[in-house]
């Protein structure tokens, strides 16, 4: 086995949610440690000897026995066009060092935590809403997920439903977790980009919440355009971007997959 393929893990679960979205789980090495919200480089072994690797947020919490990932299928994408065909017991290459900015350590203390996501950007928040430390640090957690169509919301809906039904997770979620789904192309209970829903105040009105205050902290993960627009909203509220070595009021993800 070549050195590049020394970090192989087995696929244990696969579910296709739409034609272009699927999730899968792999075995977790006993030595692998990560913080909820981090990402790791994964790929597929190939005959050329050097796998194509991409950054994937880990959708399972830090205490989970397996590692879950949520992926879009990019047509002709170097990795996802092949990754979509994986089967149970197939090998996945996983690098041993996780990293990322969407971690609790990068935020200053606050009262409310907003987790704003679009598309597969929900993945790191699937991890964080199952993490006990999230609820220890914040009084209220508001997670939003915006997609083009209703069926693209299925992964987050199922993940959140499982949280409220899991005997372990539901104990620390209590009444702290608030959910808001919206669509941009199909009609749905809530329709519109999350940026517009924040600026108009509708998000807060729909949820019966007070508008943004200095006690709020934000994480967001979506397209580069969405992240940039949300960053502008943060700046207008005089919020400072945080990092692992310099906690702030908000953080955003900067890794993209194809």
CATH class held by domain 104-252: alpha beta
Q: What is the pLDDT of residues 134-183, one digit of tens each?
A: 999 999 999 999 999 999 999 999 999 999 998 888 888 988 999 999 99
Contact (Cβ atoms closer than 8 angstroms) between residue 107 and residue 242:
yes
Identify the band that residue 1 occupies on the pLDDT scale cut at 50, 70 and 90.
Answer: very low
Q: How far is CA 201 from the centre of its chain?
A: 24
CATH 2.40.30.10 placement within the chain: 3-94
Q: Which residue has the tokens 């006990």?
A: 132
- Tokens, residue 151: 């069926």
Contact (Cβ atoms closer than 8 angstroms) between residue 143 and residue 117:
yes
Is 90 exceeded by the pLDDT of residue 253?
A: no
Please name the residue ranges forming H helices in 50-183.
80-83, 123-128, 132-137, 154-165, 169-173
Identify the band that residue 250 occupies on the pLDDT scale cut at 50, 70 and 90.
Answer: very high
Query: To the nearest whole number, what is the mean pLDDT of the chain?
Result: 93
Is 70 exceeded by the pLDDT of residue 118?
A: yes
Rounded Cα gap, residues 227 and 204, in angstroms: 20
- Tokens, residue 125: 């928040």
C-alpha torsion angle, residues 172, 174, 175, 176 (rounded to 10): 0
Q: How many residues does the chain have?
A: 258
CATH 3.40.50.80 placement within the chain: 104-252
Write down the architecture of domain 3-94 according to CATH: Beta Barrel (2.40)
Q: What percentage of the chain reaches a pLDDT higher than 70? A: 96
pTM over 0.85: yes
Rounded Cα gap, residues 191 and 221, in angstroms: 19
């Amino acid at each position: 086995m070549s050195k590049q393929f020394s970090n192989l893990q087995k696929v244990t679960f696969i579910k296709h949610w739409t034609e272009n979205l699927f999730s899968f789980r792999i075995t977790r090495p006993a030595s692998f440690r990560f913080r909820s919200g981090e990402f790791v480089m994964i790929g597929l072994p190939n005959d050329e000897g050097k796998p194509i690797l991409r950054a994937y947020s880990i959708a399972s919490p830090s205490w989970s026995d397996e590692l879950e990932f949520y992926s879009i299928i990019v047509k002709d994408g170097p990795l996802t066009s092949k990754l979509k065909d994986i089967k149970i017991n197939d090998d996945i290459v996983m690098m041993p060092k996780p990293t990322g900015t969407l971690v609790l350590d990068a935020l200053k203390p606050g009262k409310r935590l907003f987790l704003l996501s679009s598309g597969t950007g929900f993945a790191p928040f699937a991890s964080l809403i199952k993490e006990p430390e999230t609820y220890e640090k914040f009084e209220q957690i508001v997670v939003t997920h915006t997609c083009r169509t209703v069926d693209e919301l299925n992964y987050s809906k199922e993940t959140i439903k499982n949280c409220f039904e899991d005997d372990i997770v539901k104990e620390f979620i209590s009444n702290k977790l608030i959910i808001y789904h919206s669509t941009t192309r199909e009609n749905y209970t809530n329709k519109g980009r999350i940026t517009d829903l924040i600026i108009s105040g509708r998000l807060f009105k729909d949820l019966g919440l007070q508008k943004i205050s200095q006690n709020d902290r934000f994480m967001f993960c979506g397209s580069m355009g969405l992240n940039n627009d949300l960053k502008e909203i943060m700046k207008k509220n005089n919020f400072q971007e945080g990092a692992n070595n310099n906690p702030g009021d908000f953080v955003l993800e900067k890794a993209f997959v194809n």
